[in-house]
Structure 1
């Protein structure tokens, strides 16, 4: 069965349908990772987006129970050059097609993903819709042009209730803006006593949990759409050590007086080089974000830029000059991707221990 991807600029791609038969629309983005498709499609940061994978063969090692980054994938669609029909791996339990069907996610294969990626790189992310061949192109284009992208993605993917992952070490409150499981795993590996709380938890509620440290997680969408998080961070700065990742990084910047803006097509992949300014060290990192902290705006704050992107010079790391707080735009927990920056979790633990002294 054929299916079409219609973009807001009128471009149409026709390919083979797989996954769910449902029609869905969303912001069309691309990820350049060669592996890790299961972690990518289950990353809450992709909420309401249609994800294009640039590597040509996807699904060849199947789907297993261990590599999910969330319980319920939140993407609105998946586009690949070729979806493997018969996966082969000792951990494989089902195919990519089966997973998409079970989670009501439409898939499209057989299109020129290189052409689509170049289109996004040239014009920026575009709204698109995966729909049947019967859909009227002009009507869909008009609908997409008038469509406003959702601004409540964080509320959609964040936990609704607090929960505990007990440990014997430092108590860390993980604020869930759309947290990947990898962040929780890294804290558990360090024997942290982790309390996961919803995105709209107040500073007062968090302080009542008597945390030793606070982790601000990754998440989807525009950081200015999460005023609850900004207010919460402002109420906690200087009181408890803080570490922000991805959206958490952007929210820390906004809470400190900096500004953010949307990137043309974002950073999504597992081989993005980042330079640490203090040492000149380069780390290859996993990234997934569409917004960035504006460099000029940092000059008017008590923040200091610690890391920059080697590719385009954008801000990749910050630390507070007065308080025990730092953040990075990339993913030190990887999942998927290299673990070059995993030591940042150890730096966070060291900050907690220093603050206790």
Structure 2
């Protein structure tokens, strides 16, 4: 009896052990199958067409609408300077007065020549008129005398015209002794003082003043090459400056260069800004918010579908159930979507989340999801 009990207990233990091993084996097989299924099932999306757009935030620089250095046009000495740094000036205002005695002497000489040629022409005309009266009497005046008198009048007239031209030129040179503002603006720099020699003969070529127009400014912005197709004239923008936090200023694109800088790979655009209250100043940096969009539709995918490594930028397209790395270039990004360019087309299936851990040609199982 005791022997039978021992045999029964041993059989029971063996049965339980076998059953436990079978159960564990089945569970491990089941987990392996589930794990394998999880490895090959990936969310995927269809490549679609859309009109992408985004608010591009890029830095810009405010500049004077007009800005120039003031140089004298004639050799002279500064007699008086009427304005200084910070003074607001208007177009045509006299900024400085120069003196050049030799120019005054040349003007007087030119005026004397004009008066001399006027007197000669008056005398020539009088002689010619008297000869015309005398010619009414047959044989009183020879034809040669008439021709000489007529030629004298013409020569004296031309001499007077030349003298007048020289006199006007000297008058123009004298006017250069009064330095005038070329436009409304503000004096931002003064280099010289009364008594200094200035003019084209001055080898140092130091400007007398620097003047900037501040009532109107230019905001220059360099647009990256990939966004140039989205830029249009009269396009509205907004911008802010560090010195006025929390305040936004508005403007429109007035000029587009239509030229890509080779070094920066960007296109320069210009916004005209009315500087009310002179709150903005040339030289300020601005943070520009520029809404950009394509003129037509293009291909877009979720931003997570584009993977960028040190070597390439790609999406993983599913071709016949296998992963295929497709090199693309990124365009605009907005709202979790990225514009792509490359050998893909509308309706292609790509993995929603791409990474370089999925090797080329790996069989994958996908399930479609929304962007």
Query: Which category of TM-score, normalised to the shorter sequence, fits these structures?
Result: under 0.3
Bigger helix share: 2
Bigger strand share: 2
Larger Rg: 2
